[in-house]
C-alpha cells in the first residue's frame, strides 16, 4: 500500500516537520489556511480515528496538545481551530488520519466549526438521543 503520510513520517519524502515524538509527527500543511497551519499524523498507519489502535489515541492527542502549545508560544495566535476531516465526504484527501491545528487570528475571515455543515436532521434531540443510546 502506498501512503503519502507514511512516506512523510518515515522521511522517505521531504516535509516541514516541526514536532516529533514516539507516536506522532507534526508538519506544516502544504496548503495552509493560516500561518502555522499544522497537521499531526500518527506514526502508525490508520485511515481514520476508528482505525487507530486504542493505545495510540492518547499519545496522538497529547502530541496535538503539545503542538498547539508550541504554536501558541511561537506565533501568538488569538485562538485555534482543531479538527479532523473523517472520510471523503468530510474532505479527507489522504487516507491516513491527520489532525489539523489551524492558528486563528482576529480578522482572519474564518468561521467556527458550526459554519462547516448546515444540515439539521429534522428529528428532535430526544429522537436522536434515543437512536444513539438504544
4-133 CATH choice from 3.10.180.10, 2.160.10.10, 3.40.50.300, 3.30.428.10: 3.30.428.10
Query: Which strands form 24-28's sheet, in the order they lie side by side?
Result: 17-20, 24-28, 38-42, 99-104, 79-83
Q: What is the pTM for the complete model shown?
A: 0.94
Residue extents of the structural domains in the chain? 4-133
| pLDDT tens-digit readout, 28-54 | 999 999 999 999 999 999 999 999 999
| pLDDT tens-digit readout, 100-112 | 999 999 999 999 9
Residues tagged active-site: 98
Question: Cβ contacts of residue 85 below 8 Å, gap of 6+?
Answer: 91, 92, 93, 100
Amino acid at each position: 500500500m502506498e501512503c503519502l503520510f507514511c512516506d512523510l513520517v518515515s522521511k522517505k519524502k521531504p516535509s516541514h516537520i516541526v514536532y516529533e515524538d514516539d507516536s506522532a509527527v507534526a508538519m506544516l500543511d502544504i496548503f495552509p489556511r493560516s500561518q502555522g497551519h499544522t497537521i499531526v499524523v500518527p506514526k502508525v498507519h490508520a485511515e481514520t480515528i476508528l482505525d487507530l489502535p486504542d493505545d495510540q489515541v492518547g499519545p496522538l492527542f497529547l502530541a496535538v496538545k503539545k503542538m498547539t502549545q508550541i504554536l501558541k508560544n511561537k506565533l501568538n495566535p488569538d485562538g485555534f481551530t482543531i479538527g479532523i476531516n473523517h472520510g471523503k465526504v468530510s474532505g479527507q484527501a489522504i487516507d491516513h488520519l491527520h489532525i489539523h491545528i489551524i492558528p486563528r487570528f482576529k480578522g482572519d475571515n474564518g468561521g467556527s466549526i458550526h459554519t462547516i455543515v448546515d444540515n439539521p436532521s429534522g428529528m428532535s434531540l430526544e429522537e436522536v438521543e434515543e437512536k444513539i443510546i438504544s
